[in-house]
Amino acid sequence: MLRMILIDKNGEVRIPWRVVSLFALIFSAAFIISKTWRAAGLPGQRDSSEWQVFSYAALMVGAVLLIILLLLRAFEKRGLDAIWLPLQRSAVGQTLLGTLLGCVPILLLVGIAVLAGYGSIAPGSASLSAIGGAMLPALGAVLLFAALEELVLRGYVFRQISLARNPLFAAAITGVLFGLIHSGNPGANWQGLVFTAIGGFLMGLLLIRSGSLWLLIGYHFGWNACSGNLFGLMVSGMDVQNTVRVTTLSGSDWLTGGSYGFESSLPAVLCELAFLSALLLYLHKIQRGQSRLRAGSEPFQSGL
């Protein structure tokens, strides 16, 4: 009976148990890292320096990468290419491209806010010339935490849901999960979580169209770094220290996002929706043109 619950008719571990295994191992790794961190006399994250936060994030990403690789080997006899994360030279270029793409909706939003008169920009406490100090490890930590979320949600979980159902369903489910994991953030409100879920769904579509998790990691990083570290906006309810600029949004909550920050505002979700829709349409046209020149499946389909 237990075997029937755990194993499917093909003799493979059922998809839900693969996902449960992932989260069980991640929580175990987080517990061990946290206990070891405290045993070494290091402070909690709120009291840690930028370099300490970066080190903690690096440990978590390393642990999650190892866990995902072990699960892929155990359940599917595959490597990181199964979650669209091949270790190749193009990874750096794809991540950098994703970073630039992630900045575009933020630049649109800030530009609209300033031109419409409900946003203002002032100098922040950090400068680009001081990037080698506190800014460098802070940006590194932002990149690593973005990678952590992408590896789990639009990496392993997306992969397993795609195998069980289809990629579009996986984009919807991981989008909802993306919204829910932010529910514990300071100032979280229903519209912020809904808008975050919509953004997560769009990012899932971008993964389907691009076939590159590196691009998604870069996009997530670009969004957070540009909004928080560059423009000093509150990111998912959390204030960012030592920013290059400080952007102040004034007006009703639908314009500013209220306690959750700009990501809970209507202009923010519209900017992201417009930009990613245009990007997805562009990628679709490019791939249709390529399909006329040569036979072959789309990158995402070949990844499965």
pLDDT-based confidence at residue 296 (cuts at 50, 70, 90): very low
Q: How far, rounded to the nearest angstrom, does the alpha carbon of residue 68 sit from its chain's CA centroid?
A: 16
**SS3 sequence of the chain:** CHHHHHECCCCCECHHHHHHHHHHHHHHHHHHHHHHHHHCCCCCHHHCCHHHHHHHHHHHHHHHHHHHHHHHHHHHCCCHHHHCCCCCCHHHHHHHHHHHHHHHHHHHHHHHHHHHCCEEEEECCCCHHHHHHHHHHHHHHHHHHHHHHHHHHHHHHHHHHHHHCCHHHHHHHHHHHHHHCCCCCCCCCHHHHHHHHHHHHHHHHHHHHHCCHHHHHHHHHHHHHHHHHHCCCCECCECCCCCCEEEEECCCHHHHCHHHCHHHCHHHHHHHHHHHHHHHHHHHHHHHHHHHHCCCCCHHHHHC
Indicate whether 102 pLDDT > 80.
Answer: yes
Indicate whether 106 pLDDT > 60.
Answer: yes
Enumerate the domain spans of the chain: 88-303
Which pLDDT score, from 0 to 100, does residue 131 have?
A: 56
Which pLDDT score, from 0 to 100, does residue 288 have?
A: 79
Which pLDDT score, from 0 to 100, does residue 109 have?
A: 97
The contacts of residue 109 (CB under 8 Å, 6+ apart) are 262, 267, 268, 271
Which pLDDT score, from 0 to 100, does residue 295 have?
A: 42
Predicted confidence (pLDDT) per residue in 35-81, tens digit? 999 998 888 766 678 889 999 999 999 999 999 999 999 999 999 99
Indicate whether 125 pLDDT > 90.
Answer: no
pLDDT above 70: percentage of residues in the chain: 90
Whole-number average pLDDT of the chain: 90
pLDDT-based confidence at residue 91 (cuts at 50, 70, 90): very high
Indicate whether 287 pLDDT > 90.
Answer: no
Predicted confidence (pLDDT) per residue in 5-38, tens digit? 778 777 788 999 999 999 999 999 999 999 999 9
Indicate whether 297 pLDDT > 50.
Answer: no
Asked if residues 72 and 79 have their Cβ atoms less than 8 Å apart, the reply is: yes
Which pLDDT score, from 0 to 100, does residue 303 have?
A: 38
- pTM equals 0.92
Predicted confidence (pLDDT) per residue in 159-210, tens digit? 999 999 999 999 999 999 999 999 989 988 999 999 999 999 999 999 999 9
Q: Averaged over 148-165, what is the pLDDT? A: 97
Asked if residues 258 and 264 have their Cβ atoms less than 8 Å apart, the reply is: yes
**Dmax over Cα atoms in the chain, in whole Å?**
65
Predicted confidence (pLDDT) per residue in 215-225, tens digit? 999 999 999 99
